[in-house]
Amino acid sequence: MSSSKISVRTLPIVTVQPTFPIVVNEVYSGVIPFENIWISCYNNSSSDPPAPSSSIHSKVRVVLDDEDREKVVYQVREGDVHISEAERRDFGYIYSVSSPSLRIPPTRLLFPVQEYADPEKSNPQKPHRITAFSLAPDRSQYAIGYLDGSVLLYPSVPIQNSQSKYPTSAISGLSPALTRAHKSTVTSLRFFPSSRVLLSSGADFTLQVYPADPIAAASVSSASGQSSKRVSSVRTLTAHTRSVTSSAMIGRGRAIISSSMDGTIRVWNVSTGEEETLVHSAAGVGIGINRIFLDSDRDLSSSEDAEPSSNSRLYAALRDGSFEVFALGGNQKPRKLVHEFRSEKSIYGALNAITVSMPTAEAREKFIAVGSAQGVISIYNASSYASVHFRRNEASIEDLDFVPLPQSKLGLVITTGDGLPWIASLDELPITGSVDAKVSVYAELVGGDVDAVRNVSVHTVSSTIEVWTASDDGIVRRYVL
């Protein structure tokens, strides 16, 4: 299909000094009398009348109130920004920043409530880049894949309510359980629904299946270099002729799907390790597939014998800038993938990420989100393929995941190559035809510096929404909406 020009809305950016919560805590605790922090705002969107500038870099002094010594105040010393404590939570404050001259409305700043940092892997002098991440469905542990090909399991730790009025994120330096590494970069990780088996894929053309019995966090020392026993792969799946890029789980994991830079999608029987089905991308021989997403992944049954419904769809993001949709057959063996749709190629480069929302009582439509190498996010109605498009800058989109927001709005968590992850609020979604993007910035996910954030995972715990990210500085961050 031919490419066509699309209307792309540009949204603003607000970023703040990553150590801001530490500064506030130290001022409140009396460790320091005051400290200056920086806040930067960017808005490259067109407006009428145009804004006098596209960026503001502000200096804000953090100091105790002269009369109420239990209150921290934020004195803007330079630049047109407003900052305030928007909401108090058990684990800290959510802040709000706006800039009238840049026409940036109040924007939430969410800081991590926990940071997981392996003492060896997150050394600032030589950080190990995280290239894959997965949180177990029961949230007892998480897995990290690294650029060097290693795959490590770490226990998660329950969030503790802080006794401090201005807490900082809790940093856990937990030592991992080691698994046998891929021969080169780990490209994706997925826990089976049981949370006790792990699937990895790598640039060495293989997929590996490992046992993943959890480690009790209390029994793991934070001392660098101490770890539990090495775990070996129990199954190796080999057939792809180039890097395996992504995977999806069918039902309870008796079969899996993989994609590759060789332009193929393969269905595997996990118990035998044999390939069941092979399909080629309609884009042509050798057009790599960057990411796949199976919509039935979001609603796994409790039955060990559960199979995807007959209307399950597999979505594939391609290096040529298009995406494809396949229908996945139900109970027949071997399972079949039937090509249904291929989008036009994006003029904004390869599609690095793809995800799909699930219909709810409030939003009965299903939506597809894709992210490009040049920073454009596109949302498509899964039935009509009506679309909206937006970006903030040209930094590559690394990963996407839908998230429910207050007032029954649909949100999208977006991680980027410039280290500025954020949450978009999809205030108006396309139903038919092309429409102007009705999208706003719901929150900035602050806490990292300039390291690319490659992975995101959204989980609902009771009524609480958690967002987990993993980045090139070797740190996993846990946010609560």
Tens digits of pLDDT across the chain (481 residues): 444 567 899 999 999 999 999 999 999 999 999 999 999 999 988 655 555 568 999 999 999 999 888 899 999 999 999 999 988 887 888 999 999 999 999 999 999 999 988 877 777 777 788 999 999 999 889 999 999 898 988 888 888 777 778 888 866 666 677 676 788 999 999 999 999 999 999 999 999 999 888 766 555 444 444 444 566 788 999 999 999 999 999 988 889 999 999 999 999 999 899 999 999 998 777 799 999 999 876 554 434 445 555 578 999 999 999 999 999 876 677 788 999 999 999 999 999 999 999 876 556 789 999 999 999 999 999 988 989 999 999 999 999 999 999 888 899 999 999 999 999 999 888 777 655 668 999 999 999 988 999 999 999 888 889 999 999 999 999 999 8
Query: Domain for residue 29, yes or no?
Result: yes
- On whether the CB atoms of residues 429 and 363 are closer than 8 A, the answer is yes
pLDDT of 300 reads 45
- CA–CA separation, 382 and 321 (whole Å): 18
Residue 34 lies in a domain: yes
Q: For residue 481, which amino acid is it?
A: L
Indicate whether 99 belongs to any domain: yes
Q: Judge whether 71 lies within some domain.
A: yes
Query: Which residues form the domain of 19?
Result: 9-110
The structure tokens 């897995």 sit at 143
Q: How far is CA 474 from CA 132, 247, 454, in A?
A: 11, 22, 11
- Which pLDDT does position 90 carry in this prediction? 79
- pTM for the model: 0.91
Q: Do the domain assignments include residue 119? A: no
The residue whose two tokens read 């803007």 is 76
Cα–Cα distances (Å) from 101 to 43, 219, 427, in that order, read: 10, 53, 24
Closest C-alpha among 140, 319, 137, 151 to residue 243: 319
Please count the structural domains in the chain: 1
User: At CA 248, angle to CA 245 and CA 254, rounded to 5?
Assistant: 130
- Would 289 be classed as within a structural domain? no
CA distance linking residue 143 with residue 399, whole number of Å:
17
Q: Residue 55: name the closest of 7, 95, 15 by CA.
A: 15
| Residue 41 counted as domain residue | yes
389, 11 Cβ separation under 8 angstroms: no
* 274 falls within a domain: no
